[in-house]
Chain A
Amino acid sequence: MKFLTASLLLSMPCWAQSPIKRGEDVFANSCATGYCHGVRGQSSGAPRLAGRGFNQAYIFNVVTRGIPGTGMASFATTLSRADLIAVVAYVATLNGVADPKTGSDDEAAASGPKLTGEAARGAELFKEAVRSFGRCSTCHEVGGFGISVAGPIAQVPASVAALKALATPNVKTGTMDGESMPVLVLSDRKQGTLFYDLTSAPPVQRNAQPGSVTFTDGSTWRHSSVIGAYNDAELDAILTYLREAVKP
């Protein structure tokens, strides 16, 4: 009972990242893609960036201004300031700069808690791609991964048994075109009604014409029926992960 009332709020996606690690992620998503600079700046079509002897000021100039007449665009407006500084610092490390400046706003946010073995396994299970639409991240966003269908996790269940018995009062029964379905209502306004149809995974966000859908409290939908692809040991690891990940 005490565990259940101890509400653990979800934190934001960038909860535990050093600026260099953040820069590495920005680089992977914005610079290493497709036919551009490749993994760790090893090149994948566009010029190699690793081991070129670039200093930090030069990298900053190129990233913010681009190189006119080439495929190198300016990232001054497409990246946030913090991401830009982080990626410049990361590319500097690829060029032998041991301790690049990371004077970004969120330097203080550096180095969060490291996940323990069981929690790390839980983090993996939470979003394991081989599980397709049967993984937790189909409906929950934690640690910067997953689709936030259910909204932030307010409470981490104390046990696997509690997780399986989880009450889901927000899930209602919607009726549309003569069909009843389990739903999560996002907004119900004069212009229309936005809700998630939970009939099957993945949930479908639907936008109904005003007055075309009616809702009643309660549903036959059960959280236990969508976590069936995990065994108890796996669910336990996931709960261990959530207890660490959602710490404020």
Chain B
Amino acid sequence: MLKLFTVSLLTISSALAQDAGATRADWPHYGGTQFSWRYSALDQINTTNVKALTPVWMFQTGDYAENLQTTPIVEAGVMYLITARARVFALDAATGREIWNYRYPEPPRGVPGFVGNRGLAIGDGKVFFGTKDNYMVALDQKTGRLLWRVNIDDARQCGCNITAAPLVVKDKVIVGGTGGDGAHRGYITAFFTKNGRLAWRWYVIPGPGEKGNETWQGDSWRFGGGAPWLTGSFDPALNLLYWGTGNAAADFYDAERVPAGADKSKDINLYTASVVALDADTGKLRWHYQEIHDDQWDWDSAYEVLLIDREIRGHMRQALVHMNKSGITSVLDRATGELLGVFSVPEVQTWISGITEDGKLVGRVEPELGKTKTVCPTAAGAKSWNSMAYSPRTGFLYVPVNELCEDLTPNNAAPQEGQNYMNGDFPMKLAPGRTTWSHVDAWDPVTGKRAWSMPYKYVLLASMLATAGDLVFTGNPEGEFYALDAKSGNKLWSYQTGAGHRGGSASYSVNGRQYIATSTGWHSSVVGGAALTLFPDQDWRLGSTLVVFALPEPSR
């Protein structure tokens, strides 16, 4: 009797965590919920009927400067989209009819940074987004009218800007910025949603006199990078904000930033290449876990943080899962930062010979000034910035993994504020002995074992979406958007959307009908540009169109 009671309690607490992580009718956040699972509890579309899935509407944004990278946000039957040049749309989520649009003024020529935007946030009756010229902007959610905007840093000086979706937490909107590959000192900034006033700023790199500053050589902390350039997560029960921080700068050359005689099995260049937990009200650091001590490969821990509750070695744990560009994936206790497990996803890995159970890197092959070494995977990432998904039904993470290598040659160019400070040349190529460039994997974060893997001939750079219909959706550069069986990886359905995939997908429902929405359009800059040089004979089409699918309605 007692035993039964214990079991049912565990089931309940587990069910509560699952409630917090899954979306339902709405898709309110960049990562689905603030637990960042990219998982919908909707199951109208399932493994049996998915073959009937058909496009029901599409929306051409008209902004073809770059692709559509956004993950659509849906609330109460209204969808919110942002394009590369920060044109914002509110659409009827059932029909695609435009309700309002807002065009952010084009920044003046000479403002540095890439054209691109990965998403917006909603909350407090407002729509929030960041811009190329480094403003945080708030619009009225009902009308699209500008309410306030505030400059975060002069983009011309810092060489930084905002491409990530902000995160709304209670009465604040919180955002990270780019600049992790530049001579810049990264930070996360929180503003009050009501009036745009500064709430707090947390610098990734501690200043003189602050704990952690001693992990930097001389003045190198001033230009040490670490920019947290993606979107974090939030656990309301712990009131903790979780964010991944970027690599230290210079990326590939550490002689100017690492103190003499530093032990590479301990923290170096804090708090770069880390997962951090911040008090959501004050921005104060509660704990940190550095994944790569002295990151010399641009492994860049800036990626998404998935908050999951799982039984690990017999105990229910409040955990988080975090992957960096190396493909090393840490499972941490999200209350304390304690390491619970670690595994690595790429099949070809040459920069280390392995990683121990307690997260120690074995056999590091350090880059050397003036020497060219082949490194696998690459700075483009075993996974790129696009997000993985997690299904509480299967317990698997769904991850697009790329198998590339780079010929890395570091240099020792001096930093100039706000300018590129990567200090390396790293042309990329297919990993030796392979014929396929990527695979979609299912990983069990508790065992660190791969459950299945589906190869793909080119690279995969779009986010994943998992649903309670036991389906996993994503798209490829050739334009195909497809559904896999979450349990087996078998491809059950696909649709040619006409342009490559480099954005996010979401699921939502209006009046009881489930929809799957995906951003389309290959892109010409950063990794997409690099991919173009790898596959010169491929015609991967640019574009900026949202495509929405549903099951056919019964004919009346």
Do A and B interact with each other, yes or no?
yes
What residues make up the interface of A, taking CB atoms closer than 8 Å to B?
A: 26, 28-30, 32-36, 38-40, 42-46, 48, 69-73, 78-80, 83, 127, 129-130, 132-133, 137, 144-147, 192, 197, 199-207
The 7 closest A-B pairs by CB, nearest first: A71-B529, A29-B112, A204-B196, A43-B425, A32-B420, A39-B413, A28-B419
The answer to whether A45 and B530 have CB atoms under 8 Å apart is: yes
Closest to B148 in A: A206
The answer to whether A206 and B427 have CB atoms under 8 Å apart is: no
Query: Which residues from B are CB-within-8-Å of A147?
Result: 151, 154
Question: Once the chains are docked, how many angstroms separate the CA of A69 from the CA of B524?
Answer: 10
B284 interface residue per 8 A CB criterion: no
Residue in B146, B151, B195, B530 whose beta carbon sits within 8 Å of that of A35 in the complex: B530
The answer to whether B532 and A69 have CB atoms under 8 Å apart is: yes
The answer to whether B413 and A130 have CB atoms under 8 Å apart is: no
Question: Once the chains are docked, how many angstroms separate the CA of A201 from the CA of B151?
Answer: 10
Query: Which residues from B are CB-within-8-Å of A130?
Result: 185, 207, 222
State which residues 493-552 of B face A: CB under 8 Å.
524-530, 532-533, 536
Query: Which residues from A are CB-within-8-Å of B411?
Result: 39, 42
Question: Once the chains are docked, how many angstroms separate the CA of A79 from the CA of B71?
Answer: 30
Question: Once the chains are docked, how many angstroms separate the CA of A40 from the CA of B196?
Answer: 38
Q: Mark B369-396, 1 if CB is under 8 A from A, else 0.
A: 0000000000110000000000000000
**B441 CB, nearest partner CB in chain A, Å:** 24
Residue in A40, A145, A203 whose beta carbon sits within 8 Å of that of B156 in the complex: A145
Given A70-B536, A71-B524, A205-B148, A42–B201 Cβ distance below 8 Å?
Answer: no
**A34 CB, nearest partner CB in chain B, Å:** 5
The answer to whether A34 and B526 have CB atoms under 8 Å apart is: yes
The answer to whether A202 and B150 have CB atoms under 8 Å apart is: yes
Question: Once the chains are docked, how many angstroms separate the CA of A36 from the CA of B427?
Answer: 10
- Starting from the known contacts A29-B111, A42-B413, 15 additional A-B residue pairs (CB-CB under 8 Å) come to A28-B159, A32-B419, A33-B112, A35-B526, A38-B425, A39-B411, A44-B425, A70-B532, A71-B524, A73-B525, A129-B184, A197-B148, A203-B150, A205-B149, A206-B147
The answer to whether A42 and B419 have CB atoms under 8 Å apart is: no
B75 interface residue per 8 A CB criterion: no
B421 interface residue per 8 A CB criterion: yes
The answer to whether B420 and A83 have CB atoms under 8 Å apart is: no
Closest to A73 in B: B524
Query: Which residues from B are CB-within-8-Å of A72?
Result: 529
The answer to whether B197 and A200 have CB atoms under 8 Å apart is: yes
Query: Which residues from A are CB-within-8-Å of B425?
Result: 38, 42-45, 48
Question: Once the chains are docked, how many angstroms separate the CA of A46 from the CA of B156?
Answer: 23
Question: Once the chains are docked, how many angstroms separate the CA of A48 from the CA of B222?
Answer: 28
Question: Once the chains are docked, how many angstroms separate the CA of A73 from the CA of B416?
Answer: 25
The answer to whether B420 and A197 have CB atoms under 8 Å apart is: no
Query: Which residues from B are CB-within-8-Å of A46?
Result: 529-530, 533
The answer to whether B154 and A137 have CB atoms under 8 Å apart is: yes
Query: Which residues from A are CB-within-8-Å of B147?
Result: 206-207
Q: Can you pick out 24 interface pairs between chain A and chain B where the beta carbons lie within 8 Å of each other?
A: A28-B112, A33-B113, A34-B525, A35-B380, A38-B422, A42-B411, A42-B425, A43-B427, A45-B379, A45-B425, A70-B532, A71-B524, A71-B533, A80-B109, A129-B222, A130-B222, A137-B154, A146-B154, A197-B196, A200-B197, A200-B198, A201-B198, A204-B196, A205-B148
Query: Which residues from A are CB-within-8-Å of B150?
Result: 202-205
Question: Once the chains are docked, how many angstroms separate the CA of A83 from the CA of B112?
Answer: 13
Question: Once the chains are docked, how many angstroms separate the CA of A205 from the CA of B150?
Answer: 6
B36 interface residue per 8 A CB criterion: no
Given A46-B529, A133-B198, A137-B157, A39–B113 Cβ distance below 8 Å?
Answer: no
Question: Once the chains are docked, how many angstroms separate the CA of A44 from the CA of B152?
Answer: 27
Given A44-B420, A129-B157, A207–B148 Cβ distance below 8 Å?
Answer: yes
Question: Once the chains are docked, how many angstroms separate the CA of A197 from the CA of B145?
Answer: 18
How many cross-chain pairs have Cβ atoms below 8 Å apart between A and B? 142
The answer to whether A35 and B148 have CB atoms under 8 Å apart is: no
Residue in A28, A144, A145 whose beta carbon sits within 8 Å of that of B420 in the complex: A28
Closest to A145 in B: B157
**B144 CB, nearest partner CB in chain A, Å:** 12
State which residues 132-157 of B face A: CB under 8 Å.
145-154, 156-157
The answer to whether A71 and B528 have CB atoms under 8 Å apart is: yes
Query: Which residues from A are CB-within-8-Å of B222?
Result: 129-130
Question: Once the chains are docked, how many angstroms separate the CA of A29 from the CA of B419?
Answer: 7
Q: Mark B405-448, 1 if CB is under 8 A from A, else 0.
A: 00000010100110111111111100000000000000000000
B114 interface residue per 8 A CB criterion: yes
The answer to whether A207 and B146 have CB atoms under 8 Å apart is: yes
Query: Which residues from B are CB-within-8-Å of A206?
Result: 147-148, 195-196
**B337 CB, nearest partner CB in chain A, Å:** 27
The answer to whether B158 and A33 have CB atoms under 8 Å apart is: no
Query: Which residues from A are CB-within-8-Å of B529?
Result: 35-36, 46, 70-72
B110 interface residue per 8 A CB criterion: yes
Residue in B154, B195, B426 whose beta carbon sits within 8 Å of that of A45 in the complex: B426
Residue in B153, B154, B181 whose beta carbon sits within 8 Å of that of A34 in the complex: B181
Residue in A30, A38, A132 whose beta carbon sits within 8 Å of that of B201 in the complex: A132
Question: Once the chains are docked, how many angstroms separate the CA of A30 from the CA of B529?
Answer: 14
Question: Once the chains are docked, how many angstroms separate the CA of A204 from the CA of B151?
Answer: 8
Question: Once the chains are docked, how many angstroms separate the CA of A40 from the CA of B422?
Answer: 12
Given A35-B379, A35-B530, A204-B196, A44–B154 Cβ distance below 8 Å?
Answer: no
Query: Which residues from B are CB-within-8-Å of A201?
Result: 198
Query: Which residues from A are CB-within-8-Å of B197?
Result: 197, 199-200, 204
Closest to B136 in A: A204
Residue in A43, A44, A127, A132 whose beta carbon sits within 8 Å of that of B157 in the complex: A127
Question: Once the chains are docked, how many angstroms separate the CA of A40 from the CA of B529?
Answer: 20
Question: Once the chains are docked, how many angstroms separate the CA of A207 from the CA of B148?
Answer: 6
Query: Which residues from A are CB-within-8-Å of B426?
Result: 44-45
Closest to B137 in A: A205
Closest to A72 in B: B529
The answer to whether A83 and B110 have CB atoms under 8 Å apart is: yes
Question: Once the chains are docked, how many angstroms separate the CA of A28 from the CA of B3?
Answer: 66
Q: Mark B146-176, 1 if CB is under 8 A from A, else 0.
A: 1111111110111100000000000000000
Closest to A133 in B: B198
Question: Once the chains are docked, how many angstroms separate the CA of A205 from the CA of B146?
Answer: 10
Closest to B413 in A: A39
Question: Once the chains are docked, how many angstroms separate the CA of A192 from the CA of B527?
Answer: 42
Closest to A203 in B: B150
State which residues 79-136 of B face A: CB under 8 Å.
109-114
Given A38-B425, A197-B196, A71–B532 Cβ distance below 8 Å?
Answer: yes
Question: Once the chains are docked, how many angstroms separate the CA of A137 from the CA of B156?
Answer: 12
Query: Which residues from B are CB-within-8-Å of A146?
Result: 154
**A65 CB, nearest partner CB in chain B, Å:** 15
Query: Which residues from B are CB-within-8-Å of A70?
Result: 529, 532-533, 536
Query: Which residues from A are CB-within-8-Å of B536?
Result: 69-70
The answer to whether A71 and B530 have CB atoms under 8 Å apart is: yes
**B125 CB, nearest partner CB in chain A, Å:** 14
Closest to B145 in A: A207
Query: Which residues from A are CB-within-8-Å of B207?
Result: 130
Given A35-B379, A35-B380, A28–B416 Cβ distance below 8 Å?
Answer: yes
The answer to whether B151 and A34 have CB atoms under 8 Å apart is: no
Query: Which residues from B are CB-within-8-Å of A80?
Result: 109
Closest to B250 in A: A39
Chain B CB within 10 A, most for which of A79, A127, A204: A204
